Structure 1
Amino acid sequence: MKAPRLYIVAYDIADSKRWRRVFRLMHGYGEWLQLSVFQCRLDDRRHAELVGMLDELINTYEDHVLIMDLGLAENVEPRVVSLGKAQFEAVPRQPIIV
């Protein structure tokens, strides 16, 4: 199995019902950063699983999902400017219970 990678997932969902479904799904895959932005630490299998589930939930004519690969999770050194109450920290390595 390949080493996990760090992803930022941002989405713009036109319908509030679909938005809530995507939001709930994302909570199972990453850490919530802002309203429609999550940070995820995923191996290849979980990445493919997430992409497939998002593809089923969204309306491809009305919605937009961006999945940005920041690199290997263990080696990533994000260059992020974080203003306001919360500072950006990369998702730490931790066991995942499936």
Structure 2
Amino acid sequence: MDQRLYIVTYDISDQGRWRRIFKLMKGYGEWLQLSVFQCRLTPIQHAELIALLDAMIHHSEDHVMLLDLGVADKVVPRVVSLGKADFTPIEHEPVIV
């Protein structure tokens, strides 16, 4: 599976929209901080997430950024993490059907 590692961060002006986006993002990645997620996404998942976010936000009030860190299995993020939580890249886990 061709996955890339993304950091998704957002600034949403309305609390209700923020909650809806937070719930959506929990289905796509690992929550790092208040409005920051780490996601391993295939090209299809990436396109789907962008379409869903694009439909949810108010373009004149909100802002969403998806930072592409590279091929998920090959990227070695260089991150400085201070405080209570360390940054650990999401590992590829097998899916049992």
Q: TM-score range by the shorter chain?
A: over 0.9
CA displacement, residues 45-85 of structure 1 (integer Å, 9 cap, x when unaligned): 00000000000110000000000000000000101000011
TM-score, structure 1 normalization: 0.94
Mapped to 1, the partners of 2:39 and 2:13 lie a distance apart of 23
Mapped to 1, the partners of 2:95 and 2:18 lie a distance apart of 25
- 1:96 is displaced (CA, Å) by 5.3
Pick closer, same or farther for the CA change 1:96–1:47 going to 2, 3 Å.
farther
Unaligned runs of 5+ in 2: none
Unaligned runs of 5+ in 1: none
Structure 1 residue identity aligned to 2:88: E
List structure 1 segments (4+ residues) > 2 angstroms apart after TM superposition: none
Mapped to 2, the partners of 1:52 and 1:79 lie a distance apart of 29
Mapped to 2, the partners of 1:24 and 1:94 lie a distance apart of 22
Mapped to 1, the partners of 2:95 and 2:44 lie a distance apart of 13
Structure 2 residue identity aligned to 1:59: H
**Paired-residue identity, %:** 62
CA RMSD of superposed structures (Å): 1.5
TM-score, structure 2 normalization: 0.95
